[in-house]
Structure 1
């Protein structure tokens, strides 16, 4: 699988967006059935709102002198979740193309010095933070193959699976990306003890996916976890697997996934404190070069990360 444009020897800092669903839900008061943002692509008003959302983060990255990774709003735009929302295969293909087109249009107006990558965002088949749906790598590859193929055909630079909670689904996702010849980023989430929801240590999960796919993933990511939850799973001294983790998108809140799901209000944490925690995670994972946010984060948090991390 091609590693470019994610060259592991390139140390260029990349920023991304924040927690798109929590911004739209709690800041804008929008209704997001199944926690899905992609239906907004179906209307002029919705597309305009998505464009404004991304533009705020793009401006932060341009001002900070970094590159930017735009994650398309397609986390829930796979077959099972789409069917729950009334979207069939042809509808989801159109969603993938519309989402990538939105990202490419923003890239056409990019004024920053660093690269601007459009990443096709893929989510877990079930709820990645709740173990239960068990698939073999082959089953996972067959499930993710269609969405990955649609995003690749639409012109995404790479595909990124976020909030994955087990090794087999991550392996299948990489297999699907290999089939379509597009670089893949595997995003694992962890619980408060630094382990995946399946119970696997983060380092073992990275090593197992690499072993099963001949190291085909462009890199790995940790997302949807506060720094205090990630740190228990990180080595104090460099280990080979740590060099494979190139991206981090933290939650603003220290709450567990279960408590976040049950919360009726948004815990936005403290942007400056979050940036300090991210810097400590970076010390333990020195290959990190791409930073965004997840649940509860908005442009304030990414601006704080830029101020803390950017040269």
Structure 2
């Protein structure tokens, strides 16, 4: 082979090329434990890394990837090695170059920085890291750069945007998909491949996550851009538990057959990812030996062949959502906490009282303060089916992983419950089961964005759904902070993520109401100002001194000190009514919070708010 005499792009125009297999799988087989940085072994145990490269070269691989998949600053920082980015990448190239023996190509591996995690940062923040790693690999003399295992097209496009101006060497770009045919951030592979080619990718393909069958199916369905050079590095099937150990199932013979099928799809660069070994690579190399590449023939698209995404209205047009109502009328949301026992009937009785008093929606917390309560999903379904009451359910990031979150939302859609409030949730250790785990797979920003993805008919994994959801998504805002500007900046990000409306923590003086109005009047979505009646001096002091996100005015604390018993409740209602008097001048959205399930107090405030808004006919400021 005289491959190194040709630029990789030129070589792939006329030849098939076999890539290597999994570095981590081989290192683990050679005794390296999990939980360490495999990339750092380039410095601490270079002979072991070289042994893996040699095994793949001897098996027939003529494209060797450097052991640098996670050699970026973000990943290395987990091991306190962020200062070794350049050293690791340069040494990795040297090792792969030695194994390639002057014949094979060396591709500098650059993995996704997100690495399967849900995006919690602005992607732009990764620019410097991609540049740092790419420059180290380029200076060390790679033949190509391989950008691999990107679940999100947008991150891969960002990496190309950073790297392409640095060099003219070939860029191999490989997406990893959780579902056949679509990226995690919702792009079809047809659109993704087209955008990658336009952005400057020389080779476009798929790797990781899926095995040969599903990657083959992906190529069978995609409309590849004209003239695109394709690559495929599948996993060795799905990871499963066999005889007490996790292992991949696909055999070397199966990989040989799969390589031939991928060739039929016009794929020219074929290797392996997780679970593949030198045996898999040898089988592919033997199967492809002396064969020429085949030209890509895109599949014929039959009109109507793919399921159409439809919108089926789940909301009665005679019962508009709170966002629709608040555009023209004072709209009242009332919070009523689910019970902490198994008695649902008393709770439902209270819901009926609040509904009859004039509540536009009743909102149910999701185990607030990390205290176990009856499922708000079950209660919301009963409210809606039995009494026609509109539920508005809180959805906390704390208790469900991403699997549970999407499953829960799909269930809400099936029940016709479309109004939700996305919140972070209080940490489990502060609740009544302190040994429980807090999940927090995502932040409230992420979950808002992902719910909106369901509204586009796309699952969290990027799989197209047969229907679009119609969730109306709210976000929480706490104005009781020292730095209101920072709180507003967070709120703006929630609106940018897709929040349709805002619900605030309770406020306890007229000046705070005016402050919230002035601070939020520019955000462009309705704000429901929070008001919660006090019940006693102890209640007031507890809220002020111990509950996060709540701060009482000195006047409210003083007034509650002077009263006791039923008189204290009446004073609490009086304070709340005074706040309503101010609030209706600034907000059409009023959010009343029922204290201790005293729904009679909330019902009185609902009626008062209705009367005042009708009598005064006060237009909202601005």
Q: TM-score range by the shorter chain?
A: 0.7 to 0.9
Aligned-residue offset at 1:206: 1.3
Report the counterpart of residue 248 of structure 1 in structure 2: 232
CA RMSD after TM alignment: 2.5
CA distance in 1, matches of 2:20, 2:154: 27
Residues 1:142 and 2:128 are matched in the alignment: yes
Tell me if structure 1 keeps the 8 A contact 2:72–2:82. Answer: no
The answer to whether 1:120 aligns with 2:108 is yes
**Structure 2-normalised TM-score?**
0.42
Query: Per the alignment, do residues 10 and 132 of structure 1 end up closer, same or farther by CA in structure 2, a change over 3 Å counting?
Result: same
Q: Give the Cα separation in 2 of the matches to 1:279 and 1:191.
A: 24
Residue 95 of structure 1 corresponds to 88
How far apart, CA to CA, are the structure 2 residues paired with 1:18 and 1:242? 28
Structure 2 stretches lacking a partner, 5+ long: 1-5, 291-622
**Superposed structure 1 runs of 4+ greater than 6 Å apart:** none
Q: Is the 8 A contact 2:12 2:268 kept in 1?
A: no
Separation in 2, partners of 1:144, 1:32: 25
Following superposition, the deviation at residue 8 of structure 1 comes to: 7.0
For residues 243 and 117 of structure 1, the distance between their equivalents in structure 2, rounded to whole angstroms, comes to 22
- C-alpha distance in 2 between matches for 1:267 and 1:160: 24
* Highest RCO, 1 vs 2 (Cα 8 Å, sep ≥ 6): 1
**Which residue of structure 1 aligns with residue 151 of structure 2?**
165
Counterparts of 1:133 and 1:155 in 2: how far apart (Å)?
34
Aligned length: 281
Question: Is residue 2:27 matched to residue 1:24?
Answer: yes
Distance 1:192 1:273 in 2: 21
- Partner of residue 64, structure 1: none
TM-score by length of 1: 0.81
- CA shift, 1:100, in A, is 0.8
Deviation at 1:139, TM superposition (A): 4.1
Q: Which of 269, 273, 276 is the aligned partner of 2:254? A: 273
Matches within 5 A, 1:115-264: 115-128=103-116, 130-133=117-120, 135-136=122-123, 138-181=124-167, 182-211=169-198, 213=199, 216-224=200-208, 225-235=210-220, 239-241=223-225, 243-255=227-239, 264=245
CA offsets per residue over residues 218-258 of structure 1, 9 Å max, x none?
2112111212222333346x844274242211111235xxx
Cα shift readout 1:186-243 (whole Å, capped 9, x = no counterpart): 11112242322333222211112333x2xx112112111212222333346x844274
CA contact (8 A) 1:18 1:292 kept: yes
Deviations 1:16-71 (A, max 9, x none): 2211112212x12312426x42111122xx2111111111111122xxxxx71110
